Copies of this chain bind each other. A is one copy, B any other.
Protein backbone atom coordinates (compact mmCIF):
# COMPACT_ATOMS: atom_id res chain seq x y z
CA UNK A 1 0.00 0.00 0.00
CA UNK A 2 1.46 3.37 -0.85
CA UNK A 3 2.04 6.01 1.77
CA UNK A 4 -0.54 8.44 0.44
CA UNK A 5 -3.22 5.81 0.78
CA UNK A 6 -2.16 5.00 4.33
CA UNK A 7 -2.27 8.67 5.23
CA UNK A 8 -5.68 9.10 3.64
CA UNK A 9 -7.15 6.24 5.60
CA UNK A 10 -5.48 7.41 8.79
CA UNK A 11 -7.31 10.67 8.32
CA UNK A 12 -10.56 8.80 8.38
CA UNK A 13 -9.70 6.21 10.93
CA UNK A 14 -7.64 8.00 13.52
CA UNK A 15 -9.25 7.52 16.89
CA UNK A 16 -12.58 6.81 15.27
CA UNK A 17 -13.02 10.44 14.42
CA UNK A 18 -13.51 12.18 11.16
CA UNK A 19 -10.84 14.81 11.04
CA UNK A 20 -11.17 18.04 9.12
CA UNK A 21 -8.48 19.40 6.90
CA UNK A 22 -5.76 21.08 8.90
CA UNK A 23 -5.83 24.83 8.57
CA UNK A 24 -2.56 26.65 7.93
CA UNK A 25 -3.07 29.19 10.70
CA UNK A 26 -2.67 29.67 14.45
CA UNK A 27 -4.65 26.92 16.14
CA UNK A 28 -7.52 27.64 18.51
CA UNK A 29 -6.49 25.92 21.76
CA UNK A 30 -9.30 24.16 23.57
CA UNK A 31 -9.76 21.90 26.56
CA UNK A 32 -12.28 19.21 27.37
CA UNK A 33 -14.44 20.05 30.36
CA UNK A 34 -16.67 17.83 32.48
CA UNK A 35 -20.37 18.26 33.28
CA UNK A 36 -21.84 16.17 36.05
CA UNK A 37 -25.45 15.47 37.06
CA UNK A 38 -26.28 13.66 40.29
CA UNK A 39 -29.09 11.94 38.48
CA UNK A 40 -30.80 12.03 35.13
CA UNK A 41 -34.18 10.48 34.28
CA UNK A 42 -34.50 9.14 30.72
CA UNK A 43 -37.39 9.45 28.29
CA UNK A 44 -38.20 5.87 29.25
CA UNK A 45 -38.53 6.87 32.92
CA UNK A 46 -35.32 5.25 34.19
CA UNK A 47 -33.04 7.18 36.53
CA UNK A 48 -29.27 7.11 36.01
CA UNK A 49 -27.18 8.31 38.96
CA UNK A 50 -23.96 10.31 38.62
CA UNK A 51 -24.00 11.16 34.91
CA UNK A 52 -20.84 12.66 33.40
CA UNK A 53 -20.36 14.07 29.91
CA UNK A 54 -17.46 15.98 28.36
CA UNK A 55 -17.89 19.29 26.63
CA UNK A 56 -15.90 21.97 24.82
CA UNK A 57 -16.53 25.61 24.09
CA UNK A 58 -15.02 28.02 21.58
CA UNK A 59 -15.44 31.80 21.83
CA UNK A 60 -16.93 33.82 24.69
CA UNK A 61 -20.41 33.83 26.17
CA UNK A 62 -21.75 37.38 26.04
CA UNK A 63 -23.46 39.06 28.92
CA UNK A 64 -26.95 38.56 27.55
CA UNK A 65 -26.08 34.90 27.06
CA UNK A 66 -27.77 35.02 23.69
CA UNK A 67 -24.82 34.27 21.39
CA UNK A 68 -24.73 30.50 21.88
CA UNK A 69 -24.39 28.05 19.01
CA UNK A 70 -24.66 24.41 19.98
CA UNK A 71 -22.86 21.85 17.80
CA UNK A 72 -24.09 18.27 18.13
CA UNK A 73 -21.86 15.42 16.98
CA UNK A 74 -22.11 12.44 14.66
CA UNK A 75 -22.13 8.71 15.50
CA UNK A 76 -18.38 8.11 15.61
CA UNK A 77 -17.56 11.59 16.87
CA UNK A 78 -17.42 13.53 20.10
CA UNK A 79 -17.47 17.13 21.27
CA UNK A 80 -14.08 17.95 19.74
CA UNK A 81 -15.55 19.99 16.89
CA UNK A 82 -12.80 22.58 16.51
CA UNK A 83 -9.37 23.69 17.70
CA UNK A 84 -6.51 21.65 19.07
CA UNK A 85 -5.74 20.41 22.57
CA UNK A 86 -2.14 21.64 22.31
CA UNK A 87 0.05 23.46 19.83
CA UNK A 88 1.57 20.18 18.65
CA UNK A 89 -1.74 18.30 18.46
CA UNK A 90 -1.59 16.71 14.95
CA UNK A 91 -5.27 17.20 14.13
CA UNK A 92 -7.88 19.81 14.99
CA UNK A 93 -11.55 19.07 15.71
CA UNK A 94 -13.67 17.71 12.88
CA UNK A 95 -15.31 20.98 11.78
CA UNK A 96 -12.30 23.22 12.34
CA UNK A 97 -12.73 24.37 8.74
CA UNK A 98 -15.92 26.23 9.70
CA UNK A 99 -15.55 26.95 13.44
CA UNK A 100 -13.06 29.54 14.68
CA UNK A 101 -12.20 33.23 14.63
CA UNK A 102 -13.48 34.75 11.40
CA UNK A 103 -14.76 31.41 10.11
CA UNK A 104 -18.34 30.54 9.08
CA UNK A 105 -19.24 29.84 12.70
CA UNK A 106 -17.32 32.84 13.96
CA UNK A 107 -15.98 32.43 17.48
CA UNK A 108 -15.33 36.18 17.59
CA UNK A 109 -19.11 36.57 17.68
CA UNK A 110 -20.53 33.30 18.95
CA UNK A 111 -20.03 31.11 21.97
CA UNK A 112 -19.90 27.64 20.44
CA UNK A 113 -20.63 24.70 22.72
CA UNK A 114 -20.28 21.01 21.91
CA UNK A 115 -21.08 18.07 24.22
CA UNK A 116 -20.06 14.40 24.24
CA UNK A 117 -23.22 12.33 23.85
CA UNK A 118 -24.42 9.81 26.37
CA UNK A 119 -23.32 6.25 25.37
CA UNK A 120 -20.59 7.75 23.17
CA UNK A 121 -19.15 5.08 20.86
CA UNK A 122 -15.53 5.75 21.91
CA UNK A 123 -15.47 5.88 25.74
CA UNK A 124 -11.88 4.56 25.73
CA UNK A 125 -10.61 7.57 23.81
CA UNK A 126 -8.84 9.77 26.41
CA UNK A 127 -10.61 12.91 25.18
CA UNK A 128 -14.12 11.46 25.60
CA UNK A 129 -16.17 11.73 28.79
CA UNK A 130 -19.47 9.86 28.61
CA UNK A 131 -21.85 7.75 30.66
CA UNK A 132 -23.13 4.48 29.30
CA UNK A 133 -23.08 0.69 29.68
CA UNK A 134 -19.29 0.66 30.19
CA UNK A 135 -19.63 3.07 33.15
CA UNK A 136 -19.63 1.81 36.70
CA UNK A 137 -23.10 1.47 38.16
CA UNK A 138 -22.84 3.18 41.58
CA UNK A 139 -25.40 0.72 42.97
CA UNK A 140 -23.26 -2.34 42.20
CA UNK A 141 -19.72 -1.06 41.72
CA UNK A 142 -19.63 -2.90 38.39
CA UNK A 143 -20.17 -1.81 34.76
CA UNK A 144 -23.83 -1.51 33.81
CA UNK A 145 -23.60 -3.64 30.67
CA UNK A 146 -27.10 -4.18 29.29
CA UNK A 147 -28.70 -3.06 32.56
CA UNK A 148 -28.02 0.51 31.41
CA UNK A 149 -31.35 2.01 30.32
CA UNK A 150 -32.05 2.49 26.61
CA UNK A 151 -31.54 6.16 25.77
CA UNK A 152 -32.77 8.24 22.86
CA UNK A 153 -31.72 11.27 20.86
CA UNK A 154 -34.06 13.26 23.13
CA UNK A 155 -32.02 12.09 26.12
CA UNK A 156 -28.84 13.42 24.49
CA UNK A 157 -30.64 16.73 24.00
CA UNK A 158 -31.91 16.81 27.58
CA UNK A 159 -28.42 16.36 29.00
CA UNK A 160 -27.13 19.16 26.75
CA UNK A 161 -30.02 21.34 27.97
CA UNK A 162 -29.12 20.67 31.60
CA UNK A 163 -25.53 21.67 30.88
CA UNK A 164 -26.60 24.91 29.16
CA UNK A 165 -29.06 25.71 31.96
CA UNK A 166 -26.29 25.22 34.52
CA UNK A 167 -24.53 28.13 32.76
CA UNK A 168 -27.66 30.27 32.87
CA UNK A 169 -28.26 29.84 29.14
CA UNK A 170 -31.88 29.65 27.95
CA UNK A 171 -31.66 30.30 24.22
CA UNK A 172 -29.68 29.07 21.22
CA UNK A 173 -28.75 31.40 18.40
CA UNK A 174 -28.45 28.16 16.45
CA UNK A 175 -28.06 24.42 16.76
CA UNK A 176 -26.12 22.63 14.06
CA UNK A 177 -25.10 19.02 13.66
CA UNK A 178 -24.02 16.44 11.08
CA UNK A 179 -25.55 12.98 10.70
CA UNK A 180 -26.55 11.83 14.21
CA UNK A 181 -25.80 15.42 15.20
CA UNK A 182 -28.50 16.49 12.77
CA UNK A 183 -31.00 14.25 14.54
CA UNK A 184 -30.17 16.06 17.78
CA UNK A 185 -30.42 19.48 16.13
CA UNK A 186 -33.87 18.63 14.74
CA UNK A 187 -34.98 17.19 18.07
CA UNK A 188 -33.89 20.40 19.81
CA UNK A 189 -35.88 22.55 17.40
CA UNK A 190 -38.94 20.27 17.53
CA UNK A 191 -39.11 19.74 21.27
CA UNK A 192 -37.75 23.00 22.65
CA UNK A 193 -38.83 25.51 19.98
CA UNK A 194 -38.67 28.41 22.44
CA UNK A 195 -34.90 27.78 22.72
CA UNK A 196 -33.93 27.42 19.06
CA UNK A 197 -33.76 30.37 16.65
CA UNK A 198 -31.92 28.59 13.82
CA UNK A 199 -31.44 24.93 13.03
CA UNK A 200 -28.94 23.45 10.57
CA UNK A 201 -29.20 19.79 9.62
CA UNK A 202 -26.11 18.54 7.79
CA UNK A 203 -26.32 15.08 6.07
CA UNK A 204 -29.28 14.32 8.29
CA UNK A 205 -32.80 13.08 8.67
CA UNK A 206 -35.87 13.99 10.71
CA UNK A 207 -37.06 10.38 10.83
CA UNK A 208 -35.49 6.95 10.51
CA UNK A 209 -37.18 4.77 7.93
CA UNK A 210 -37.31 0.98 7.76
CA UNK A 211 -34.40 0.72 5.27
CA UNK A 212 -32.13 2.82 7.48
CA UNK A 213 -33.21 1.02 10.67
CA UNK A 214 -32.34 -2.30 9.02
CA UNK A 215 -29.02 -0.92 7.76
CA UNK A 216 -28.07 0.30 11.25
CA UNK A 217 -29.00 -3.12 12.58
CA UNK A 218 -26.07 -4.65 10.69
CA UNK A 219 -23.65 -2.71 12.88
CA UNK A 220 -25.26 -4.18 16.00
CA UNK A 221 -25.50 -7.69 14.62
CA UNK A 222 -21.78 -7.75 13.82
CA UNK A 223 -21.10 -7.15 17.53
CA UNK A 224 -23.71 -9.65 18.71
CA UNK A 225 -22.21 -12.35 16.45
CA UNK A 226 -18.83 -12.04 18.16
CA UNK A 227 -18.71 -14.77 20.86
CA UNK A 228 -16.71 -12.39 23.06
CA UNK A 229 -19.73 -10.11 23.31
CA UNK A 230 -21.29 -12.56 25.86
CA UNK A 231 -24.68 -10.83 25.93
CA UNK A 232 -22.96 -7.58 26.83
CA UNK A 233 -21.15 -8.98 29.86
CA UNK A 234 -17.52 -8.85 28.69
CA UNK A 235 -15.96 -6.30 31.04
CA UNK A 236 -14.03 -8.95 32.96
CA UNK A 237 -12.93 -10.80 29.82
CA UNK A 238 -11.74 -10.18 26.27
CA UNK A 239 -13.67 -7.45 24.48
CA UNK A 240 -15.55 -8.35 21.26
CA UNK A 241 -13.04 -6.54 19.05
CA UNK A 242 -13.75 -8.63 15.94
CA UNK A 243 -17.38 -7.57 16.05
CA UNK A 244 -16.46 -3.94 16.72
CA UNK A 245 -13.95 -4.07 13.85
CA UNK A 246 -16.61 -5.27 11.45
CA UNK A 247 -19.12 -2.68 12.69
CA UNK A 248 -16.60 0.11 12.14
CA UNK A 249 -15.66 -1.25 8.71
CA UNK A 250 -19.34 -1.19 7.71
CA UNK A 251 -19.75 2.36 9.04
CA UNK A 252 -16.73 3.64 7.10
CA UNK A 253 -17.72 1.76 3.94
CA UNK A 254 -21.29 3.02 4.06
CA UNK A 255 -20.19 6.58 4.80
CA UNK A 256 -17.90 6.74 1.75
CA UNK A 257 -19.00 6.99 -1.86
CA UNK A 258 -17.30 4.57 -4.30
CA UNK A 259 -15.73 7.59 -6.00
CA UNK A 260 -13.48 8.40 -3.03
CA UNK A 261 -13.19 4.82 -1.77
CA UNK A 262 -11.83 3.62 -5.11
CA UNK A 263 -9.31 6.47 -5.19
CA UNK A 264 -8.10 5.61 -1.71
CA UNK A 265 -8.13 1.81 -1.44
CA UNK A 266 -5.55 -0.47 -3.06
CA UNK A 267 -6.78 -2.17 -6.22
CA UNK A 268 -6.90 -5.88 -6.82
CA UNK A 269 -3.99 -7.71 -8.50
CA UNK A 270 -4.78 -9.44 -11.73
CA UNK A 271 -5.82 -13.06 -11.86
CA UNK A 272 -4.45 -15.67 -11.75
CA UNK A 273 -1.60 -13.94 -9.90
CA UNK A 274 -3.39 -13.49 -6.58
CA UNK A 275 -6.45 -14.38 -4.58
CA UNK A 276 -6.57 -18.05 -5.54
CA UNK A 277 -4.79 -19.54 -2.54
CA UNK A 278 -7.60 -19.54 0.05
CA UNK A 279 -10.88 -17.85 0.98
CA UNK A 280 -9.62 -17.52 4.56
CA UNK A 281 -7.95 -14.17 3.91
CA UNK A 282 -8.90 -10.74 2.60
CA UNK A 283 -8.18 -9.10 -0.74
CA UNK A 284 -6.21 -5.82 -0.53
CA UNK A 285 -9.20 -3.44 -0.65
CA UNK A 286 -10.98 -5.28 2.16
CA UNK A 287 -7.84 -5.73 4.21
CA UNK A 288 -7.07 -2.01 3.98
CA UNK A 289 -10.52 -1.20 5.37
CA UNK A 290 -10.48 -3.85 8.09
CA UNK A 291 -6.91 -3.16 9.23
CA UNK A 292 -7.71 0.47 9.98
CA UNK A 293 -10.95 -0.55 11.71
CA UNK A 294 -9.12 -3.10 13.82
CA UNK A 295 -6.51 -0.54 14.89
CA UNK A 296 -9.11 1.73 16.44
CA UNK A 297 -11.50 -0.96 17.75
CA UNK A 298 -10.01 -0.94 21.32
CA UNK A 299 -11.01 2.72 21.66
CA UNK A 300 -14.68 1.85 21.16
CA UNK A 301 -17.02 -0.03 23.46
CA UNK A 302 -19.22 -2.67 21.86
CA UNK A 303 -22.24 -2.06 24.12
CA UNK A 304 -22.00 1.69 23.58
CA UNK A 305 -22.28 1.09 19.83
CA UNK A 306 -25.41 -1.03 20.41
CA UNK A 307 -27.00 1.75 22.49
CA UNK A 308 -26.04 4.39 19.98
CA UNK A 309 -27.50 2.33 17.13
CA UNK A 310 -30.75 1.95 19.05
CA UNK A 311 -30.95 5.68 19.80
CA UNK A 312 -30.61 6.35 16.06
CA UNK A 313 -33.03 3.61 15.03
CA UNK A 314 -35.73 4.96 17.33
CA UNK A 315 -35.52 8.51 16.07
CA UNK A 316 -38.48 10.48 14.79
CA UNK A 317 -38.55 14.23 15.43
CA UNK A 318 -40.63 15.08 18.49
CA UNK A 319 -41.45 11.42 19.20
CA UNK A 320 -44.71 11.67 17.27
CA UNK A 321 -46.34 9.22 14.84
CA UNK A 322 -45.71 11.43 11.84
CA UNK A 323 -43.19 14.05 10.79
CA UNK A 324 -46.03 16.55 10.40
CA UNK A 325 -46.93 16.17 14.08
CA UNK A 326 -43.31 15.97 15.21
CA UNK A 327 -42.29 19.15 13.41
CA UNK A 328 -45.53 21.08 14.10
CA UNK A 329 -44.11 23.17 16.96
CA UNK A 330 -40.78 24.01 15.33
CA UNK A 331 -40.28 27.76 14.90
CA UNK A 332 -36.56 27.91 14.02
CA UNK A 333 -35.37 29.08 10.63
CA UNK A 334 -34.13 25.80 9.16
CA UNK A 335 -31.40 24.88 6.71
CA UNK A 336 -30.84 21.38 5.38
CA UNK A 337 -27.50 20.47 3.81
CA UNK A 338 -27.69 16.89 2.50
CA UNK A 339 -24.82 15.38 0.53
CA UNK A 340 -25.95 14.73 -3.03
CA UNK A 341 -24.25 11.31 -3.21
CA UNK A 342 -24.91 10.17 0.37
CA UNK A 343 -25.48 6.40 0.60
CA UNK A 344 -26.07 6.24 4.37
CA UNK A 345 -28.67 8.95 5.06
CA UNK A 346 -29.72 9.60 1.50
CA UNK A 347 -30.78 13.06 0.35
CA UNK A 348 -34.45 12.02 0.19
CA UNK A 349 -34.51 12.17 3.98
CA UNK A 350 -33.54 15.83 4.22
CA UNK A 351 -35.75 16.62 1.21
CA UNK A 352 -38.70 15.05 3.00
CA UNK A 353 -38.14 17.03 6.22
CA UNK A 354 -37.66 20.28 4.30
CA UNK A 355 -40.86 19.64 2.31
CA UNK A 356 -42.88 18.92 5.42
CA UNK A 357 -41.70 22.20 6.95
CA UNK A 358 -42.38 24.17 3.77
CA UNK A 359 -45.83 22.62 3.43
CA UNK A 360 -46.59 23.87 6.94
CA UNK A 361 -45.49 27.37 5.87
CA UNK A 362 -42.31 27.28 7.94
CA UNK A 363 -39.05 28.99 6.96
CA UNK A 364 -36.86 26.15 5.70
CA UNK A 365 -34.43 25.77 2.83
CA UNK A 366 -32.17 23.07 1.39
CA UNK A 367 -28.86 23.06 -0.46
CA UNK A 368 -26.82 20.06 -1.58
CA UNK A 369 -23.21 19.55 -0.58
CA UNK A 370 -21.27 18.30 -3.60
CA UNK A 371 -18.09 16.29 -3.37
CA UNK A 372 -16.64 12.79 -3.84
CA UNK A 373 -17.11 11.67 -0.25
CA UNK A 374 -20.73 10.47 -0.05
CA UNK A 375 -22.05 10.82 3.51
CA UNK A 376 -18.67 12.18 4.62
CA UNK A 377 -19.15 15.28 2.46
CA UNK A 378 -20.84 16.55 5.62
CA UNK A 379 -17.38 16.63 7.22
CA UNK A 380 -14.79 16.79 4.44
CA UNK A 381 -16.66 19.05 2.00
CA UNK A 382 -18.32 21.32 4.58
CA UNK A 383 -15.99 24.20 3.68
CA UNK A 384 -17.89 24.53 0.38
CA UNK A 385 -20.92 25.65 2.41
CA UNK A 386 -19.02 28.13 4.60
CA UNK A 387 -20.48 31.23 2.93
CA UNK A 388 -23.98 29.82 3.03
CA UNK A 389 -23.63 28.94 6.69
CA UNK A 390 -22.21 32.36 7.63
CA UNK A 391 -25.08 34.07 5.83
CA UNK A 392 -27.68 31.83 7.43
CA UNK A 393 -26.28 32.35 10.94
CA UNK A 394 -25.97 36.10 10.57
CA UNK A 395 -29.37 36.77 9.00
Q: Tell whether, in the assembled complex, residue B270 and residue A320 are in contact, meaning their CB atoms are under 8 Å apart.
A: yes
21 contacts between A and B (CB under 8 A): A146-B279, A146-B280, A210-B265, A210-B288, A211-B256, A211-B257, A213-B283, A213-B286, A214-B265, A217-B282, A221-B290, A222-B246, A225-B246, A258-B346, A258-B348, A270-B319, A271-B314, A275-B314, A276-B314, A279-B303, A279-B306
Contacts of A146 in B (CB 8 A): 278-280
- A310 within 8 Å of B (CB atoms): yes
Q: How far is the CB of A60 from chain B (nearest CB, A)?
A: 37
**Interface locus among A100-108, A226-234, A328-336:** A226-234
CA distance A160 to B212 in the complex (A): 39
The 8 Å CB contact of A214, one of B210, B289, B310, is: B289
Residue A182 at the B interface, CB < 8 A?
no
Identical copies of this chain, number: 2
What are the interface flags for A301-320 relative to B under an 8 Å C-beta threshold, 1 for contact and 0 otherwise? Answer: 00100110110011010011
Main secondary structure of the interface of A (DSSP, over half): helix
**In the complex, A52→B134 CA distance in Å?**
53
Inter-subunit contact B262/A279 (CB<8 Å): no
**Contact (Cβ within 8 A) A279 B314:** no
Contact (Cβ within 8 A) B271 A242: no
Q: How far is the CA of A150 from the CA of B262 in the complex (A)?
A: 25
- Cβ contacts under 8 Å, A243 to chain B: 225
A316-B271 contact given A150-B276, A214-B253, A276-B150, CB 8 Å threshold: yes
Q: How far is the CA of A152 from the CA of B279 in the complex (A)?
A: 12
**8 Å CB interface, A338-366 against B:** 343, 346, 348
Determine the distance from Cα of A211 to Cα of B309 in the docked complex, in whole angstroms.
23
Smallest CB separation, A351 vs chain B (Å): 13
Chain B residue contacts of A30, Cβ below 8 A: none
Closest B residue, CB atoms, query A315: B271
B209→A221 contact, CB < 8 A:
no
A208 within 8 Å of B by Cβ? Answer: yes
Q: Is A250 an interface residue (CB 8 A)?
A: yes
A266 to B249, CA, bound (A): 28
- Are A285 and B210 CB-contacts (below 8 A) given A231-B280, A279-B307, A316-B271? yes
Most chain-B CB neighbours within 10 Å: which of A208, A211, A282?
A211
A286 CA to B87 CA, complexed, in Å: 46
In addition to A152-B272, A211-B256, A217-B249, 10 A-B residue pairs with Cβ atoms within 8 Å of each other are A150-B275, A209-B267, A210-B266, A211-B257, A214-B249, A217-B285, A225-B225, A225-B242, A275-B314, A279-B306
CB atoms of A214 and B348 under 8 A apart: no
The smallest beta-carbon distance between A219 and chain B, in angstroms, is 11
Q: A316 to chain B: which residues have CB within 8 Å?
A: 268, 270-271
Which residues of B lie under 8 Å from residue A232 when comparing CB positions? 279-280
Q: Which residue of B44, B227, B289, B348 is within 8 Å of A276 (Cβ)?
A: B44
* Shortest beta-carbon distance from A238 to chain B in Å: 13
| Interchain CA distance A232-B278 in the complex, whole Å | 11
Which of A214, A222, A264, A303 has the most chain B CB atoms inside 10 A of its CB?
A214
